[in-house]
Amino acid sequence: MNEQTKAIREQADRSPYREHAVPLYLTSSFVFDNAEQGRAIFAEEEEGNVYSRYSNPNTTEFINKICAMEGAEAGLAFSSGMAAVFASFAALLQSGDHIVSCRAIFGSTHQLFTKLLPRWGITTTYVDASKPDDWEKAIQPNTRMIFLETPSNPGLELVDLEWLGKFKEKYPNIILNVDNCFATPYLQKPIRYGFDLVSHSATKYMDGQGRVLGGVVVGKKELIDELMFFIRHTGPSMAPFNAWVISKSLETLGLRMDRHCSNALHVAQTLEQHAQVQEVRYPFLPSHPQYELAKKQMKAGGGIVTFVIKGGFERAKRFLDALKMIRITSNLGDSRTIATHPSSTTHSKLTDDERLQLGIQPGSIRISVGLEDVEDIVNDITQALASS
């Protein structure tokens, strides 16, 4: 079966009520038919749900869909994207271990690397992702994990997945781990290139409507088993309600991504022609420095467009205030178009130099392009450019 078909047809076993759409299993624990079954399930001789911190029919259905889309052996669902990313470090690394990560990563992941993981003796070296020599130089004898995001937020820089998959073959003890949130499994499948783990914030395109938080990690079964131990005993499990919401959303992920991408490309092309715009970044614009790589590893360019408005910081703020339909918020991956000013919000804690390294200028604006009619999106942006 095609993976999109699987994302639509995969469903928890039908209950005695013969429902068509999946019910919501709001239950913390599950009943055993008899004492012997309880013993057998606890002894792992028989499969079955025990307690929703471990598993639940709604979360299992959600995980099965993501495994089918990513081509993964196994997976686990988490209460948020950050719970998933943190678990992929905490469950697999120990004191003295070292991580090599691309520099352009999600803000909270940066906080983990620089503030929390060092408390437990885990250190990180950042590399400039587009320079192969940098990866090589950063590897130490105690490096246990390589972590990256592609495309990055908000600079939309790419990392060559095929190159990194081959690079890793020289280091069998290193776990290759990617946050695939911006691309979604519909646009990009890192496991094809030999990645061991793929994590996601399901809060973004998977829910796609800005309602609930969620996270997921999929990959090699032996690694997921270790994550399972971690999640069972620390408890960052996805709530059944959130799994039920997001699993239903996955039925339309492909459809929605096609529209996010075609709308975003149109917005990027329009901005590129605009006299008030200094620079536009979008992976599927031929002017993107990694356009060829984008076309090789992504099915389309994604839903995020970043541009630099002429006039810097103050002009960027005036532009946001002049938008009429598009809302200012820091989320992304919503059916509704969103505008964000990274240097005064999501990346305000960084120094000017750190921001420039991530491709963030004072006038940078990130647009998470939604599913509205593209003319309405473009009209709002151009009227705000004209009146700011």
Ligand X SMILES: *Cc1c(COP(=O)(O)O)cnc(C)c1O
Q: Which residue ranges make up the site for ligand X (CB under 6 A)?
A: 80-82, 85, 106, 149, 153, 179, 181-182, 201, 203-204, 213, 215
| Nearest CB to ligand X, comparing residues 143 and 201 | 201
| Nearest CB to ligand X, comparing residues 181 and 227 | 181
Contact 157, 130 (CB under 8 A): yes
Q: How far is the CB of 78 from ligand X (least distance, A)?
A: 9
Closest listed residue to residue 203, CA positions, set 372, 329, 23: 329
Q: How far is the CB of 23 from ligand X (least distance, A)?
A: 25
| Nearest CB to ligand X, comparing residues 12 and 84 | 84
| Nearest CB to ligand X, comparing residues 210 and 380 | 210
Q: How far is the CB of 80 from ligand X (least distance, A)?
A: 3
- DSSP strand E in the chain: where? 74-78, 98-102, 123-127, 143-149, 175-179, 197-201, 215-219, 277-281, 304-309, 327-328, 338-340, 364-368
| Nearest CB to ligand X, comparing residues 182 and 244 | 182
| Nearest CB to ligand X, comparing residues 203 and 263 | 203
319-329 residues labelled b (16+ CB within 10 A) or e (exposed): bbeebeebeee
Task: Classify 386 as helix, strand or coil.
Answer: helix
Q: How far is the CB of 244 from ligand X (least distance, A)?
A: 17
In the bound state, the residue with its beta carbon closest to ligand X is 81
Q: How far is the CB of 81 from ligand X (least distance, A)?
A: 2
Contact 201, 219 (CB under 8 A): no
Place of tokens 């019910």: 23
Amino acid identity at 78: F
Q: How far is the CB of 312 from ligand X (least distance, A)?
A: 25
